[in-house]
A and B are shown apart, each in its own frame.
Chain A
Amino acid sequence: AQKVTQAQTEISVVEKEDVTLDCVYETRDTTYYLFWYKQPPSGELVFLIRRNSFDEQNEISGRYSWNFQKSTSSFNFTITASQVVDSAVYFCALSETFTGNQFYFGTGTSLTVIP
């Protein structure tokens, strides 16, 4: 079973539109971390955010915001006023306490922002 599900394979938006990337996770652990990474066309993984399971407060960083809801096991990512530079593949990931160091990545959402 998938531990991290990103149901949206590809999304296209027009510049300045808002876009939300969905992430649903599955774990039996009570202490875990959730992450979002950006992978631009150049291929590297860029860390965006980490959230631990005890902190459900939503976070905003500039045009980025994250909505963590334990009740629905979701950790969604919203980009406000999207820009062409936001075009990338975005990965959600889960790190569980009892499996230690392994990160479980979702399959990624490819975002294209059209000028």
Chain B
Amino acid sequence: EPEVTQTPSHQVTQMGQEVILRCVPISNHLYFYWYRQILGQKVEFLVSFYNNEISEKSEIFDDQFSVERPDGSNFTLKIRSTKLEDSAMYFCASSEGRGRYTGELFFGEGSRLTVL
């Protein structure tokens, strides 16, 4: 069964360092997303990506964050200068079409980021 895969599963970094989280979406999917879950809290939308550009982003997704699809398969989230409050589980997701048509996002297993 096709699935969304994420690497690394867990990353520990020092405050101020750059971090790149990687995702391989399901191959025939066109829309890609990043969500974040701070420990014990709800899952929050960060950004959606379609046709090599950001289609929507939340207030959380500030200038410290960027996304790209460098090679047609990977979908990356970069945090330029990590802060303590960036510590969270980051989920990648993909869908065949826009959420309102397919109704289902396929989530990866998450990448846990710990900023010290």
Taking Cβ atoms with an 8 Å cutoff, the residues of A that contact B are 31-33, 35, 37, 42-45, 47, 50, 52, 91, 93, 95-97, 99-108
Q: Does B82 contact A (CB under 8 A)?
A: no
Interface of B is mostly: strand
Contact between A101 and B44 (Cβ–Cβ < 8 Å)?
no
Residue B48 at the chain A interface, CB threshold 8 Å: yes
Instruction: Assess the A107–B42 pair: CB atoms within 8 A.
Output: yes
Which residues of the other chain, A, contact B107 by a CB distance below 8 angstroms?
Answer: 37, 44-45, 47
Residue B25 at the A interface, CB < 8 A? no
B33, B99, B110: the one contacting A43 at CB < 8 Å is B110
Q: Which 7 A-B pairs have the closest CB atoms?
A: A44-B109, A45-B107, A105-B43, A101-B99, A97-B100, A101-B48, A33-B103
Inter-chain CA distance A45–B89, complex, in Å, is 11
Cβ B48 vs Cβ A91 within 8 A: no
A95: nearest residue on chain B (CB-CB)?
B99
Known: A43-B112, A45-B107, A50-B103. A101 touches B42 (CB 8 A): no
Q: Judging by beta carbons under 8 Å apart, are A103 and B98 in contact?
A: no
B residues in contact (CB < 8 Å) with A? 31, 33, 35, 41-45, 48, 55-56, 58, 89, 91, 95, 98-100, 103-110, 112
* Chain A residue contacts of B31, Cβ below 8 A: 101
Cβ-defined contact, B100 with A33, below 8 A: yes
Q: Is there an interface contact between B45 and A100, defined as CB atoms closer than 8 Å?
A: no
Partner of A108, one of B42, B45, B98: B42
